[in-house]
Amino acid sequence: MRIPMKYMMALLITAISMTAAAQMPPEGKVRPVAMRPKDTLQQVMTTRTADHASLKDEKNGQVVYKGIFSYRDMEQEPTFSWLPHGMDEYNPDATATDYLQKTIGNYKLVIFLGTWCEDSQHLLPQLFKVLEKINIAWEDLMLIGMDRTKTTNNAAAQQLAKRYNIALLPTIVVLNSNDDEIGRITETVSKSVEWDLVSIIGGQRK
């Protein structure tokens, strides 16, 4: 028995409608869409909100900054006399700073430090003097303060410390434009802070 064309068309439309209905989620239950989690570094760099606590180190009584803060925050702390004194005493190499002035703008620095720590108090003023020479905006620096247990009071900053496996202070992490680490200065320098930065960046530009 031959089925009339109009009935065949009706059956086909019904089948298509049933298939489409089966693929639709129930009303009020939208299927979740897989979202790429926010990158911790980008989240912190974008907001750049100061969030730190000021404590006392239990061993030497010095002020401990824990969390995200700025160079200006450090500059305003009266007990951080090591900061201006160290910067005044340091004279970076002009050849190195000339190179960095032309290249470092393509990179990011994430600096983990301990304001209570002698190594940080020695190295950070030298780094800041170099950055001052090459006219880096203080607002572009990512400074993360940690205590003796290498912890901080900011969840995003703590994730960064875990991401970069921070075990010693200070640690200066150098990142390229894709936020991939290309090198770091840890606790002390090989030659000088400016020449170590030249070595890290220059190695990427060969």
Give tens-digit pLDDT for 129-142: 999 999 988 877 89
Residue 19 pLDDT = 47
The reply to whether 180 falls in a domain is yes
pLDDT at 36: 38
User: For residue 195, is it within any domain?
Assistant: yes
**19 part of a folded domain:** no
Q: Residue 16 falls within a domain, yes or no? A: no
Per the domain annotation, does 7 fall within a domain?
no
Name which of 5, 199, 27 is nearest 99 in CA terms: 199
d(CA 3, CA 10): 11
Q: Give the residues of the chain that fall short of pLDDT 70.
A: 1-50, 204-206
Residue 97, in any domain of the structure: yes
pLDDT confidence of residue 140: 79
Q: Which pLDDT does position 50 carry in this prediction?
A: 63
Separation between Cα atoms, residue 79 and residue 98, nearest integer Å: 33
Residue 70 belongs to domain with CATH number: 3.40.30.10
Range of the domain at 100: 40-204
DSSP symbols for 35-53:
-PPPPHHHHHHHH---EEE
Indicate the pTM of the whole model.
Answer: 0.77
In a domain, 80, yes or no: yes
Number of independent structural domains in the chain: 1
Q: What is the dihedral of CA 72, 138, 113, 61, to 10 degrees?
A: -10
Is residue 164 assigned to a domain? yes
